[in-house]
Structure 1
């Protein structure tokens, strides 16, 4: 497991990385609220079709095997209906259109991804000289498919991270950033991922980083295990889209798969520009159908890694597959004051207004 390979905290490595990259980032620390735990959960059947229409009572969440009570619940896009004979949710493959329903497909023909904040991290290293324009086209189409719904940021990276377009609802600005990207030098993917996680960490709701990488990392100062753990601890999903160059590198393939799985995301290995477009389409669908669950952890003496398990309560639904992050490490930082859950009073701890 990722967490067993660490020699220090991800938080400390982020501060070290910020100092090493000098002008890239200021020296502010990442601030993580670890009291309210947020989960993005995908529920699918055996064929990979998304299951919608589930309610809070359908989910059973435990942390270190301790039952948790949901404090918040939201379904991504309600493009599902209930079957007439069984009363169980059915796959969201052919929903009936409902006039005026905000969950109708967008103008581009795809589902809306309400409430999702998406960071696109584009490999602009020298690995990208071949197929650069095709990759830009695939990313631009992906951004258009999120029109008017999600906020999107576009970053590129080679040896350094470039925050080309900060998180915004202005799709045209993001696409301009994509078109203005040029290929650079060596590839420091894990450095760049860690810095992107710093920007995603304070956000609420569904949040994801979509990485388009064309080759193995050859310039980072931090290991991928630490990136994966920080993503888990901040509730950020990581999707990896890789091309033939990375696919030919066995180590990169393994790491990409492990990072995405640990955070509740997916890894895609594209052999052509058509595969790239299909990967982005799949990610869009996934973001649109994620359930958002949140809870205030029950008393737990464990101050380290906490394992999260999500199951469906009804035995008839246990045939469905659950995908979410595996857990999180309790962040120890004096810069972040804990926040007491509503209805509870802790000595010396403020209750949110």
Structure 2
């Protein structure tokens, strides 16, 4: 296909604003062409509201990230049927995320967790600095009920201050009720093409939820939200040693099933040492690194798609490269 000079300029603007290395198919170029060639502002480019964003990671046999895949190497399947890919893009710098991101930090307010969180100023500052200017951050604390500490904002200083405003409440803990609340809150963001993640920090012991983790998985899958679970464990005596109290079923699984990751922080030795401080910095760095090595596939579902859940699969033709699809599927809702 041949592009006129003005068209190429618009497409280049599209690539720069996408925040990374991007390879566009013809369909994505048509998106760029919705801009008048006399205009130079990417804000005029309109993505259709039915865009499905599919994050994937690729690794070689040694487990190293593969970062040089081209658009034509990806194959997308919707419920087993091959589908056209509108665009493929990736972060250009894993140390500084450029792609638009919406991040909710979901904070347990139990006494032990709050004590750890109040020691994390350096770690949280580093995390916020690496998220990029276009990232929106919200904070929600919870015990038996969730409380919004900060609505979505791009102001990182405000987010940092809000992180340390949460109070120790104690009492029952409703993890999945709070997660359901956070997922509905992030779903309300209307901007298309924005990556959405929830990072939950807790001891993993749910004692009061009415919502099941399966309900949360369905909410996350419907809107393409990845959940990263960080466990700050509670230890219990078992004979002559301490063992980690097993988190409530679903705390680990929801990260695995929504395209996020599960992390456990701390050791028995640290639990036995009253002066030991846990550092969430390495976990936050691992989350940013994970996000920074993802490819993003843009996909428009077929017209007259059957209502319900549609499973997605992505493959690549390159040998010895394994692709992990970070979004299992999407939901097509019934017409009103």
Q: Determine which of 200, 205, 208 is the counterpart of 2:186.
A: 200
* Counterpart Cα distance in 1 of 2:318 and 2:293: 22
Deviation at 1:147? 5.1
SS at 1:131's partner residue? helix
Change (3 A) 1:207 1:137: same
Does structure 1 retain, via aligned residues, the 8 Å contact 2:314–2:323?
no
Does structure 1 retain, via aligned residues, the 8 Å contact 2:184–2:219?
no
* Counterpart Cα distance in 2 of 1:156 and 1:135: 16
Does structure 2 retain, via aligned residues, the 8 Å contact 1:120–1:155?
yes
Q: 2:224 aligned with 1:224, yes or no?
A: no
Q: Determine which of 254, 262, 266 is the counterpart of 2:257.
A: 262
Does structure 2 retain, via aligned residues, the 8 Å contact 1:147–1:171?
no
In the other structure, the counterpart of 1:183 is: 168
With structure 2 as the length reference, what TM-score do the two structures score?
0.72
* Counterpart Cα distance in 1 of 2:184 and 2:305: 27
* Structure index of larger Rg: 2
Deviation at 1:277? 1.8
Does structure 2 retain, via aligned residues, the 8 Å contact 1:229–1:328?
no
In the other structure, the counterpart of 2:113 is: 128
* Counterpart Cα distance in 2 of 1:141 and 1:315: 36
Deviation string for 1:69-117 (max 9, x for gaps)?
A: 1123321x22xxxxxxxxxxxxxxxxxxxxxxxx4x7xxxx33343222
Q: Determine which of 285, 298, 301 is the counterpart of 1:281.
A: 285
Give the superposed CA RMSD: 2.6
Q: 2:250 aligned with 1:248, yes or no?
A: no
In the other structure, the counterpart of 2:5 is: none
In the other structure, the counterpart of 2:332 is: 330
Q: 2:77 aligned with 1:58, yes or no?
A: no
Aligned residues: 269
In the other structure, the counterpart of 2:298 is: 294
Deviation string for 1:250-271 (max 9, x for gaps)?
A: 352x522221111111100111
Change (3 A) 1:262 1:119: same
Gaps of 5+ in 1: 1-32, 79-102, 335-353
In the other structure, the counterpart of 1:214 is: 203
* Counterpart Cα distance in 2 of 1:170 and 1:332: 37
In the other structure, the counterpart of 1:83 is: none
Gaps of 5+ in 2: 1-47, 236-242, 268-276
Deviation string for 1:323-352 (max 9, x for gaps)?
A: 312223433473xxxxxxxxxxxxxxxxxx
Deviation string for 1:270-320 (max 9, x for gaps)?
A: 1165562211110011122222212122367643322111111x242x532
Q: 2:310 aligned with 1:306, yes or no?
A: yes
Deviation at 1:239? 0.7
In the other structure, the counterpart of 1:156 is: 141
* Counterpart Cα distance in 1 of 2:333 and 2:111: 36
In the other structure, the counterpart of 1:8 is: none
* 1:331-350 alignment, distance < 5 Å: 331-332=333-334, 334=336
